[in-house]
Each structure stands twice: as C-alpha cells, then as structure tokens.
Amino acid sequence: MGKRATDEWAARHGAEVRRDVGAETLTTFRGGGRAERVYLPRSAEDAAELIGLCRAEEEEPYVLGGGSKTIVADGEVMRPVISTDLMRAVEVVVMSDEGVTVRAECGARLSDVARRAADCGCGGLEFLAGVPASVGGAVHMNAGAFGQQTADHVVEIEVLNPVSGEIERKSRAQTDFGYRRGAEGFVCAVTFFLPAMSGEERASRRERFLAWRRSRQPRLPSCGSVFKRGAAPAGALIEDAGLKGVRLGGAEISRVHAGFIVNAGGASAADFFALAELAARRVEELFGERLQKEFEILADDLPF
Ligand SMILES: Cc1cc2nc3c(=O)[nH]c(=O)nc-3n(C[C@H](O)[C@H](O)[C@H](O)COP(=O)(O)OP(=O)(O)OC[C@H]3O[C@@H](n4cnc5c(N)ncnc54)[C@H](O)[C@@H]3O)c2cc1C
C-alpha cells in the first residue's frame, strides 16, 4: 500500500501521530483493543485538514476527546483516530459583574474551563465535577447531571461544516441540544458563559455533587452510564433485573451502581458488549423497555 495522504500531511507539517495505541491509554474504561494510528492535530485548521484527507480516502475518522464515553473494539482498529488532546487552550474573552465568557478548544477538559472561571470568581459547571469529559465530547453528548446540562452554559460553538470544510460559528439556539444529544460534526471550540459566584458557594456546590458521586458511583474504570435514561433510570431497571455484580470475563455490572459496567481487571470490549447486551435483553424481557446505549464504539465494523 502507498503512503496515506494523512501520514504524508502529518510528516510535512510535523504533526504528531501515535501508532498502535491501546484502549488503556485512549479510554477511561481502559479495556479493549488498539488503534492502529492516532493523529494529534494542534489546531482546528489542522484537524479540519486531516478530516478532509481521511474522507478523501473514504475513511470516516473517529474524533476522540477524553475517551470517557468510548469503548475500543478488541484487536487492531484500522479506522483513523483524531485525538483532540493537543487542542486545549482556554481563554477569557469578556469579564463583567454578571460573569465570565470563556472560549475553550475542544480538547480542553471541562475541569480546565471550570478552573479558569473560578479564577475570575465565576462558576456553574460544578455539576460535572469529577467527570473526565473534554469540551468537544461534552458538547457532542450534551453531558449532564443533577438536572443540569452542558448546553445550559454554551453561548456559541465553532463547528466544521462537513461539506464546505469551513469552520462555522453557531449559537446555542442554532444547535439542536436535547437529552444527551448535542452538536453534530467536529466541534473545534466552544464559548461558555459562567455566572459570578462566590468561592464559598462554588466550593459547597462542588463538594455536594462530588460527595454524591463518591457515595453512589463506582471508582473502578468505566465509561459512565452505559444506557440512557428512559421512563425509569436504566441502573434501577438493571438492578431490579437482579444483575448487580454480574461478571463476564473482566467486566462487571457495578455493585455500587448497576447503570455502570466497570473494568474489574483485564476486561475486553467483547466482555463489555456481552454484558451490555445481557442487561438490555433481561430488562426488555422483564419490563418491556428497550434500553438505548449511551456509549460510543471505536471499531472498523460495529458489533451491533
Ligand atoms: C466516572 C465517569 C462519570 C461520568 N459522569 C457523567 C455524567 O454525570 N453525565 C454525563 O453526561 N456523562 C458522564 N460520563 C460520561 C462522559 O464523561 C460524557 O459522555 C462526556 O461527554 C464524554 O466526553 P469525552 O470527551 O470523554 O468523549 P469521548 O469518549 O472522547 O467521545 C464521545 C463521543 O463524542 C465525540 N466527540 C469527542 N470530541 C468531539 C469533538 N471535538 N467534536 C465532535 N465530537 C466529539 C466522539 O466522537 C464520540 O462520539 C461519565 C464518565 C465517567 C468515566
């Protein structure tokens, strides 16, 4: 096979490419296979260029942020990965008595945005404290908790138009946010507004949310909730189906919270998928509710 256009471009531009990277470094579940090549662009323009080159070679790249909602299929995945890990700039755009406007590149962590806002005496993202999401992943999934969601704080997103290859600005109103549904396409950067908040209030909100997570969520590696909430929380249905603590290979339905599948040691992606399938099947048989998966899969062929 000749040299790929993406590899030639990366070599010409001194862009970082990592080969044969394992799920243990790519994802928070830390189990599964390996990505044959991971490109790490340093700017939105470079990312757009790489995405265009992949598509010209009829490959749809997988955009990876914090890897906290991603399971890597077992074996070697040939699908190109574009990691946003080197695109992490966070800057204050405007500060006023009401709050602060912060622009963050997609690979920045939500915690980086919260920290920058806190430096300016502002807050609002405490509900996601402890969640290892990137800005791009959080806006793509509209990550949320405790009745709040990422979209609540979004002013504008910068997103790649897949047809023109141009980076466009879209206001929150122009983005179809919903429950765990956010921006489509490659999110390059996001502008947030975070309101003024005293240090005491920020600390107390943060501690309250973190304490809740510590007492009700597992500490073992996971990708967060495996299924979306339906009429009832998926974790409650899985627990009622008697599946808490059920183990397949190295994957386990968490004993702490049945909505999570944890890597209890040496879990493969197949272990994870089989357990997710088992939970979905049993819940449907017993309660007639078909659970919808919340996780994303990095694979050449989707397993289901
Ligand atoms: C311990 C733990 C607790 C969690 N708690 C919560 C919670 O309370 N609420 C919640 O909603 N989630 C929670 N999660 C899940 C997860 O953090 C979120 O879904 C988060 O939004 C995923 O972000 P990420 O950057 O890690 O995404 P990744 O896993 O990297 O990617 C997820 C999806 O987003 C896409 N994506 C990533 N970056 C971009 C980009 N720049 N542009 C376009 N698409 C992109 C990927 O292609 C993929 O489809 C938790 C996870 C863990 C491990």
**pLDDT computed for residue 304 by the predictor:** 61
Q: Which CATH number fits domain 5-83: 3.20.20.80, 3.30.43.10, 3.40.50.970, 3.30.470.30?
A: 3.30.43.10
**pLDDT computed for residue 77 by the predictor:** 98
Alpha helices in the chain (DSSP H): 5-13, 23-26, 44-56, 110-119, 135-141, 199-216, 234-240, 269-287
**pLDDT computed for residue 163 by the predictor:** 85
Residues tagged active-site: 180, 225, 294
SS3 192: strand
Q: Which ligand 1 atom sits closest to the C-alpha of 128?
A: 8
Distance CA 282, CA 298 (A): 25
Domain range 218-298, CATH architecture:
Alpha-Beta Complex (3.90)
For residue 66, report the phi and psi dihedrals to the nearest 5 degrees.
Answer: -80, -10
Q: Determine which residue's CA is closest to atom 40 belonging to ligand 1.
A: 136
Burial of 215 (0-12, 13-18, 19+ CB in 10 A): exposed
Distance 189 CA to ligand 1 centre (A): 15
Task: Classify residue 40 by its DSSP letter.
Answer: E
Taking CB atoms and a 6 Å cutoff, what residues make up the pocket around ligand 1?
28, 62-70, 84, 106, 131-134, 136-138, 140-141, 143-145, 186-187, 222-224, 296
Burial of 132 (0-12, 13-18, 19+ CB in 10 A): middle
- Mean pLDDT, 10 residues at a time, over the chain (304 residues)? 86 93 98 98 95 93 98 98 98 98 98 98 97 98 96 98 91 95 95 98 97 96 96 96 98 98 98 98 97 97 71
Domain boundaries for CATH 3.30.465.10 within the chain: 90-215
Rg, Å, the chain Cα set: 20
Q: Which ligand 1 atom sits closest to the C-alpha of 132?
A: 17
Half-sphere exposure of 145 (CA within 13 A, CB side): 20
- Copy the structure tokens of residue 221: 């590696």
Q: Which ligand 1 atom sits closest to the C-alpha of 135?
A: 25
Q: Determine which residue's CA is closest to atom 45 belonging to ligand 1.
A: 137
**pLDDT computed for residue 187 by the predictor:** 98
Domain boundaries for CATH 3.90.78.10 within the chain: 218-298
**pLDDT computed for residue 1 by the predictor:** 57
8 A C-beta contact, residue 110 and residue 79? no
CATH class of 90-215: alpha beta
Domain boundaries for CATH 3.30.43.10 within the chain: 5-83
Distance 2 CA to ligand 1 centre (A): 35
